[in-house]
Structure formats: C-alpha cells, structure tokens
Amino acid sequence: MGVKGAETRDRMLDATQELIETGGYFGAGLNQVIAASGTPRGSLYFHFPGGKDQLVGESVRRAGRTIGDALEGLADSSASAAEFVDAVLRSLGDRLEESGWRKGCPVATVALETASTNDPLQEACSEVYASWEATLRARLTGRPDADDLAVLILALVEGALLLARTHRSREPLDGVARQIGVLLR
C-alpha cells in the first residue's frame, strides 16, 4: 500500500475511533465515517473488505494500542503501583475533560453494545482489555493477588470513567484513585 493509501486508511480509522468513542458502534455508520474522514466510499470497501465490523474492530484495537502505550509510559515513570494507577486516572480524566466529557474509554461502548451479539467485535474488545490487564498485572508483580487486583483496578477505572462522563465531573476518578491508593499501600 502506498503512502496515499495508508493515509486514507488512517483517516478512516481516525474518524471511526472518534465516532465510536462519542456515539458507540451504532453512532458510527459508514456514511458518517465517509463524511468525517473525507474519503470516497470505494476506499472504505477497498481498505476494509469486511465492512463496518472490520473497520470498527481495527479501530478498537488501534485505540487500545494507543491507550496501552500510554499505560506503559506511565508504568515506566511511576515509582509505585499506587502512583501508576493515580497517573492513569489523571491522564484518562484529562482526556475525558478535554473532550467535553465525550471520550471515556475507546472500548467500553462498543463492548457494551456488541459483546453478546458480535463475536469478532467481542474478541477485539476482549484483546484490548486483556492487554491493559497485563500492563496492570506487570506493575503489581510480587503480589500474590496481582491477577485479581489487575482485574479489580481495570473494573474500577472503567466504572469511574463511566460515572465521570455521566456526571461530567472528575470526582468519580479522584475517589477511585484515592481508594486504589489505600488498597495498594
């Protein structure tokens, strides 16, 4: 694929990510993706012959890698697991607030809308969550409960993002950060 083709594909994935983060799977119609990306309809089917599900699945994985890379960076620059989780919640809170409370988790809405009915998208969401759990688990090494704690922390972060978005307030994120700090000390 040439440079122009890669740029077109990236624009479609960017547009899809924006649409699914703000409106979910059902808010990301192909016409909306085409309009938001400024690409011709034929490019959509050329780059994503599997249609909308392939496009959304790749977008979820791509967004997951972006957040995953940020998690890795925060893990590397944090002195303790509690500091790491606090930094994660602050970073996600900044992202959410800067978006006008529109961008919570780039995976959660798609997972909620499709996990029980669409195996390929359920798998994409599951892969992303598993990679984030692995990053958390790695930061909790040496703890006998690292597996359970990684799941618990991810669930708390996801819930806090949902509540923060709903309330348009950072308080749920701040409260969860405080309680995870107590849990990890």
pTM of the model: 0.92
Measured CA to CA, the distance from residue 86 to residue 80 in angstroms comes to: 10
Write the pLDDT tens digit of every residue in 68-80. 999 999 999 988 9
The boundaries of the domain holding residue 133 are 3-184
Q: In this structure, what CATH number is given to the domain that contains residue 134?
A: 1.10.357.10
Please tell me the total count of domains within the chain: 1
- DSSP for 3-25, written as a single string: HHHHHHHHHHHHHHHHHHHHH-G
> What are the pLDDT digits (tens) for 16-50?
999 999 899 998 999 999 999 999 988 898 999 99
